Amino acid sequence: MNRRQFLAAGAASIPAAAAARPARAAQRARRRPAVKMKAGNQGKDTPEALRVLAALGINHICSTLPSRSFDANWSVEGLSRLRDQVESFGVKLEMVPLPMSSLDISKAEMPAIMLAKDPERDREIDQICKMIENCSKAGIPAVKYNLTLLGVPRTASTKGRGGARYSTFVYDQAKQDTLTEAGRVDAEMMWDRITYFLKRVAPVAEANRVRICCHPNDPGMPKVKGFRGVDCVLGTVDGLKRFVTIAENPYHGLNFCQGTICEMLEDPNREIGDIIRWFGTRRKIFNVHFRNIKGKFLNFQETFPDCGDVNMLEALRVYRDVGYDGMIMPDHVPKIEGDTAGAQAFAFAFGYIQALLQVVGQEA
């Protein structure tokens, strides 16, 4: 081949290569799944709040707690009224919280379950099962709950962006001078109590096709040493993996608090993607608390979503890629001076989530 032939052959190959590039890009794009996630919220279901949420495009929510005790609000009629009220604003009631919230055991609504106090424990579990049955009859597809003795321990808040106050936890500064009402509770005792609950409740959830979504222990604590005498077995990734295999069925999974799970890690930004994949591919993520932190295990601040250590766009891409189809909701926003109810901080978080959902949707 002479020089002229060589140059002509090279020029002819350029259009073919250029044409191949968009074809390969299109092929990669076709492999991305459609976005099924939706922006959500929790704990705001008054008419005033629902009007604001609907205006912001937040059309899926978890309600406030219907009642702290098993009363008429937990009847089929009471739950149906709640659903009708929410959905009259064009907002879907996706979930309600059970009276097993993130409170210290001294303030808990149904303390006997985690205290293993019989016969009260069986009575409370029976009530939880009836609540799940009634949610099914009222057309509410999921409930969320906590299994904790400690509540949500924190140390003094710290100053963040623009003078906002960040919820903070530094293990070495936390007060541990008293045990909880439960006394010393080691890992074996905790697993016995958790297993007792799940073996009674998870089959009821499956029979009624209601997802039960457990929140991890917030924050993670050192194994064995724990906090205030409690070994927090749901405060580690390995513990959560074990948890979802107990009484396993498609309706037993996690209220996957990304912020809390990042609090368990030494390098949250590097590690969180694989953890989302592990639980997401097994269909154990039923709801997502989408928040960011600065720091790591035993020493962190809860930040605005755009200024923590975790790349939130990359995290959302992983949820998309594993086919997660539930709510993405804010949680634990910083406190801004003058924003007494947190409305401005939450509005910022909603906008951030909506923007990221648009980005991953366009990519798909």
At 355 the three-state DSSP class reads helix
For the four alpha carbons of 316, 317, 320 and 324, in that order, the dihedral sign comes to: negative
Share of the chain above pLDDT 70, in %: 91
Tokens of 144: 């969320």
| Dist. CA 361–CA 364, nearest whole Å | 5
The parent domain of residue 20 ranges over: 1-31
pTM: 0.90
Examine the domain organization and report whether 210 and 112 are in the same domain.
yes
* CA–CA–CA angle 111, 96, 233 (5° rounding): 45
Asked if 102 contacts 215 with a C-beta cutoff of 8 angstroms, the reply is yes
Please give the Cα distance from 260 to 240 (Å, whole number): 12
Q: If residue 158 lies in a helix (H) or strand (E), which one and from where to where?
A: strand 155-159
Does 70 share its domain with 6?
no
Checking if the pLDDT of 69 tops 90, the result is yes
Tell me the per-residue pLDDT of 272-331, one tens digit each, with 9 for 90 and over: 999 999 999 999 999 999 999 999 999 999 999 999 999 999 999 999 999 999 999 999
Mark whether 322 and 266 lie in a shared domain: yes
- Do 111 and 246 fall within a single domain? yes
Q: Are residues 156 and 13 in the same domain?
A: no
Mean pLDDT of the 18-42 span: 70
* Token duo for residue 151: 């509540």
Same domain, 78 and 134: yes
The mean pLDDT of 118-140, rounded to a whole number, is: 98
Return the residue matching tokens 């409170």. Answer: 103
Do 2 and 93 sit in the same domain of this protein?
no
Mean pLDDT, residues 25-52: 83
4 and 117, same domain (yes or no): no
Q: How far is it, in rounded angstroms, from Cα 127 to Cα 71?
A: 10
Shared-domain flag, residues 290 and 217 = yes
In tens, the pLDDT along 149-162 reads 999 999 999 999 99
Q: What distance in Å separates the CA atoms of residue 347 and residue 16, rounded to the nearest whole number?
A: 49
Residue 110 and residue 95: Cα distance in Å, rounded?
A: 19
Instruction: Evaluate if residue 30 carries a pLDDT over 80.
Output: no
pLDDT at 78: 98
**Based on C-alpha coordinates, what's the Rg of the chain?**
23
CB 191 within 8 Å of CB 233: yes
CATH number at residue 42: 3.20.20.150
- CA dist., res. 218 & res. 154, Å (int): 9
Number of domains in the chain: 2
> Could you tell me if 7 and 74 lie in one domain?
no
pLDDT at 364: 78
Q: Quick one: 24 and 78 in the same domain?
A: no
If asked whether residues 268 and 323 sit together in one domain, one would say: yes
pLDDT at residue 9 greater than cutoff 80: no
